[in-house]
Amino acid sequence: MPDIQALVSDLASKLRKRRVQGSYETARLTAELLCAVILQHKEPTTNGAASLIEAVRRVGEQLIAANPVELAVGNIVRHVLHIIREEDLSPLTDIVGELKLSAEDDVEDIAEDENSQKSSATTDGCLLKPPLLLAVFEHLPDSATACQTFSSENIFAGKGKKLKSELIKAVNELIEDINTCREGIAEQAMELIHQNEVILTLGHSKFVKEFLCAAKEKKRSFEVFIADGAPKFEGHILAKELDKKGLKAIVITDSAVFAMISRVNMVIVGVHAVMANGGVIAPAGLHVLALAAKKHDVPFVVVASTHELCSLYPHNLEVLLNEMRCPSELLNFEEFSDCIDYGIASSSSLLHVVNPAFDYVPPELISLFVTDIGGYSPSYIYRLIADYYSSEDLPPQQKPAS
Amino acid sequence: MQFDDQGRVNKSKKRAVFNQPEAKNRVELFRHLPQYEHGSQLTDLESKFLELDSMHPAVYKVGVQYLAGDVTGGNARCIAMLRAFQEVINDYSTPPGKTLVRDLTAKISSYVSFLIECRPLSMSMGNAIRFQKSRIAKLPLTLSETEAKAALCNDIDRFINEKIILADKVIVRHAATKVRDGDVLLTYGSSCVVEMILLYAHELGKQFRVVVVDSRPKHEGQALLRRLLAKGLSCTYTHINAVSYIMHEVTRVFLGASSVLSNGTTYSRVGTACVAMVAHAFRVPVLICCEAYKFHERVQLDSICSNELGDSNDIARVPGRPDVNSMDNRTNEKNLQFLNLMYDATPSEYVSMIITDYGMIPPTSVPVIVREYRREYLLI
């Protein structure tokens, strides 16, 4: 266990110091770390799954606290917890199959209708009718619960080692998915890009690059306008890479996106995270681009992988999930150091420099999500949340002590 | 002029005063606009200084200032050009066998084409030149040469005074009534009229904050920021990508314009359309401050049919970022192009009001002003 703690602190410090950045990198590292956690976990004979869940959750809280803005960490943690719960309760579905109960219904949580609705639909794969079932439950509370706890104890005792090996297999599949999500996304390029298309993008995203290169390999010819995406200027990096692959790339400034959008067929962008309502947290400047695309009725396509899918709803959009970057990226400190003194008399600086890293784009402005499991409209995202996450793992309420 | 027509381009090259090599890697969509290699233009023009005996030195000086970027902004460029023309007129003497009207008009036309070579005309300059030529054409034939020259110089003085300097004062008075205590005012880039408005409102004692939005490659907002801070205004500085982040605390947006066209479209620095669009989405009023002499009867639907292309190296080179700068010697690669637009067209639905020296009007009233008052200044 001290071994695991060292690994966890190592990753947490890397996250805190922003040495690890980008949803792909953080997702992969988090998944590998959680795999190691599960591997080394010594579980008790009964209720091994609950202790495993507790261990993973503790590690997850540490990692999330290190970099709250990097949502991929939380996503992977919750995904792994979901996998544990699924693997854990899958034999139950055989036993109580006749009652057609959903496996996710923990006995204690019967009262939560909405949760059972969402989770029941997923794990069984068939749409059940929870209200009727709940009525059944209410009429036969004792016998049903007694039956469940009895059978679950038996199952847990017998399963022990088998649970762990199943989990390791599932988490390895998850890591594999993270590594190969690009292929799934790139396959769909042919369905969306036609000949002589003009595409506009902003900044740099690996998925967008794979998407465009895949279309190019299939001999579609098109040109790409790239807005450079200040203050990171990653658009230049994307332009260089596309140029190497033989794609026609034209670099424009961010201020020119409205001017150019009338001649563009499609906007394709990569984002930082996809929220549960279908909105996205994207690099700064994408809200402006989305508004311009809406005005000209240009399809706004977001390319994302499933590990960027987050089960949070954005309530206080611009502020809570945003990160302020260094002001020196905008203003040269040496040139403006004299201006900073102007406010001494009033005891507050006259000059403030604002450099947010992210923008929130509401779901109304997005036409399509291209993910490694297919293309979806923003209204479907909440369903995907249910596929990958369990309701019990949604962000914990702030305990008064913490 | 159409630069995609090879015949016309060759003809104009023959008449050109100095040599401007065309940019090799031109964006197809903008083939109808001139795009030159910017590295060698200034040195070339400077070397030609002693050879250009047909060029008046004042006009030459203004041309070099345009090329070097020392004089920017619609009003400044227009005033510089008109003052140069005043000197031309003062130094002018009719050659024997020619009439003053025709000869002077021809001279002015040749100077104007030189200035166009240095930098394409802004619409304000176009209007001023038209005014100038019409004044020359309307000179009564009974005037002697000295009287004619004095009349023309007088006209130029009146134009500058009434149409630019006094107009700015009127605009500032009108606009200051729109600034209330506790306002957060946003402006983009650097417009001299907006700067005057902010300083005047501050002098009146109104309490407000300013947000200056800026963008590459020119970073014009930094100069404005410095001047505002020097006068004691509280300012926030941000980049155009952060405009949607900052817009929820803004109460008014003041923007300048290079010109306002007859369909209500505002033609101004690239990025203005983005700012106006975001302000509209957040229900923040957008006020355009523009003198009436900049109105034009042209119409424009997008920013592509008519624009100005700047130096593509400005886009390729990012100051202070060596990892990105390895690209700047690649501006002539076949697949990779850089597009430096200078202007864009803001649709009229994003603009709440235009503040001019004729009052505060909605964008739909611009053709009315053009029609009703165009006659007036021709009759000065």
- pTM score, two decimals? 0.84
B236 neighbourhood in chain A, CB within 8 Å? 351-354
Name which of A242, A253, A365 to mutate to probe chain B: the one with the most chain B Cβ atoms within 10 A of its Cβ: A253
Query: Is A45's pLDDT higher than 90?
Result: no
Given this model, what pLDDT does residue B124 score?
86
Does residue A295 belong to the interface with chain B, where contact is any CB pair within 8 Å? yes
Report which of A2, A23, A37, A85 is spatially closest to residue A394, judged by C-alpha positions.
A85
Amino acid at B276: A
**Closest residue of chain B to A331, computed from CA coordinates:** B222
* Closest residue on chain B to A326 (Cα): B238
Query: What is the model's pLDDT at position A119?
Result: 39
Task: Test A248 with B338 for CB contact under 8 angstroms.
Answer: no
Mean pLDDT of chain A: 77
- Out of B248, B269, B338, the one facing A251 most closely (by C-beta) is B338
From A33's Cα to the closest Cα of chain B, the distance in A is 32
Contact A233 B235 (CB under 8 A): no
Question: Residue A257 and residue B274: Cβ atoms within 8 Å?
Answer: yes
**Which whole-number Å values give the CA distances from A156 to A50, A87, A109, A144, A161, in the listed order?**
11, 11, 20, 18, 10
Sequence-distant (≥ 6) Cβ neighbours of residue A187 within 8 angstroms? A214
Please indicate if any CB of chain B lies within 8 Å of the CB of A354. yes
CB contact under 8 A, A353 and B344: no
The residue to which tokens 């314009």 are assigned? B257
pLDDT digits 0-9 by tens, B258-302: 999 999 999 999 999 999 999 999 999 999 999 989 998 889 898
What percentage of chain B reaches a pLDDT higher than 90? 44
Is B312 or A293 the better-scoring residue by pLDDT? Answer: A293
The more confident residue out of B24 and B114 is B114
Residues in A closer than 8 angstroms to B229, CB to CB, are: 339, 342, 350-351
3-class DSSP string for A267-307:
EEEECCEECCCCCEEEECCHHHHHHHHHHCCCCEEEECCHH
Most confident of A292-301, A375-384, B104-113: A292-301
Sign (positive/negative) of CA torsion B137, B139, B144, B145? Answer: negative
Nearest-Cα distance to chain B for A85, in Å, is 39
According to DSSP, the residues that pair with A358 across neighbouring strands are: A283
pLDDT value of position B153: 92
Residue in chain A nearest B337 by alpha carbon: A250
How many Å lie between the alpha carbon of B105 and the closest alpha carbon of chain A? 37
Count A/B contacts: CB-CB distance under 8 Å: 183
With contacts defined as CB-CB under 8 Å, which chain A residues touch B330? 243
Contact A381, A388 (CB under 8 A): no
Q: For residue A300, what pLDDT is reported? A: 95
Higher pLDDT, residue B335 or B78: B78
pLDDT per position as a tens digit, A240-259: 888 888 888 999 999 999 99
Interchain pair A251, B337: CB under 8 A: yes
The verdict on a CB contact (< 8 Å) between B242 and A253 is no
Q: Provide ipTM, 2 decimals.
A: 0.89
Write down the number of H helices and E strands in chain B: 15, 11
pLDDT band at A17 (very low <50, low <70, confident <90, very high): confident
The pLDDT value given to residue A51: 83
Of residues A246, A262, A359, nearest to B245 (C-beta): A359
Distance CA A268, CA A272 (A): 14
State whether A249 and B337 contact (CB < 8 Å): yes
pLDDT over 60 (residue A133): no
Out of A145-154, A311-320, B26-35, B195-204, which region has the weakest mean confidence (pLDDT)? A145-154
Q: What is the pLDDT of residue A93?
A: 45
Q: Tell me the chain B residues in contact with residue A247 when contact means C-beta distances shorter than 8 Å.
A: 335
Q: Do B216 and A246 touch (CB under 8 A)?
A: no
Q: How far is B212 from chain A (nearest CA, A)?
A: 10
Q: Do A339 and B226 touch (CB under 8 A)?
A: yes
Which residues, in sequence order, are CB contacts of B254 under 8 Å at separation 6+?
B175, B185, B186, B187, B194, B197, B198, B287, B289
Percent of all residues in chain A with a pLDDT value above 90, rounded to a whole number: 18
Q: Which of A373, A228, A207 is nearest to A306 (CA)?
A: A373
HSE-CB at A108 with a 13 A cutoff on CA atoms is 1
**Using one digit for the tens of pLDDT, what is the confidence trace for B216-225?**
888 899 999 9
Asked if A251 lies within 8 A of B316 by C-beta distance, the reply is: yes
What pLDDT sits at residue B279? 96
Choose the weakest-confidence range: A33-37, A57-61, A289-293, B32-36. B32-36
Identity of the residue in A229, A318, A350 whose CB atom sits nearest the CB atom of B245? A318
Top-confidence residue, A124 or B374: B374
Mean pLDDT over the full length of chain B: 86
* CB atoms B335 and A249 under 8 Å: yes
pLDDT at position A152 is 44
Terminal Cα distance for chain B, rounded: 30
Q: Average the pLDDT over each of A97-106, A349-358, A386-395, B166-175 and give the range with the smallest value.
A: A97-106
